[in-house]
Chain A
């Protein structure tokens, strides 16, 4: 079956099917959220940008959480050795992202002159790095558990 969304989907048919479910569920939740927002708009006045950002966040959050919890990301991790190897990769990936981000930030915006600017950038990076690491770790753990049961 051909669709413009095909390029976003994995080649494996089980993973593809699960992803389509997550995206469809996300779309229905997004529609319900939007209906809720139309009703709420009568009582709570927020600007359009907030509503739009909230809608995007709801969709992305739902799809990401479902994907992370499903244990379908690391399909080949089924032994203690491959688990440790993948965990190491996650550490390296997160570390590389944080280092590259700070480097690019320093190149394009220059070295922060105030202590508060340093706190802002480091705080943001620590939060993004932590969220990335924790979601990858949970996904790996769930995948490992699922794969072990299928051996």
Chain B
């Protein structure tokens, strides 16, 4: 399953590395978050949401269908 964060990043035209630099993280950390292998802190979530012009709900809230 492709994560909402990855879709939002691609939609914004950013690479993992570019996003990482903007939120003061490493490319590896962004990759791990997108794969669901790392739970970021609230501060990092907010920084990512701001960079991708999305809300926290848009990126991280899971809706059961």
Q: Is the CB of A13 within 8 A of B29?
A: yes
State A147–B29 Cα separation when bound (angstroms).
10
Partner of A15, one of B16, B26, B34, B40: B26
User: Which of under 10, 10 to 19, 20 to 34, or 35 or more describes the interface residues of A?
Assistant: 10 to 19
Q: Is the CB of B34 within 8 A of A14?
A: no
B22 within 8 A of A: no
Q: Is the CB of B44 within 8 A of A75?
A: no
Q: Is the CB of A147 within 8 A of B40?
A: no
Tell me which residues from 135 to 150 in chain A have a Cβ below 8 Å from any Cβ of chain B: 143, 146-147, 150
Q: Is the CB of B26 within 8 A of A75?
A: yes
- A binding-site residues for B, Cβ under 8 Å: 11-15, 72, 75-76, 78, 143, 146-147, 150-151
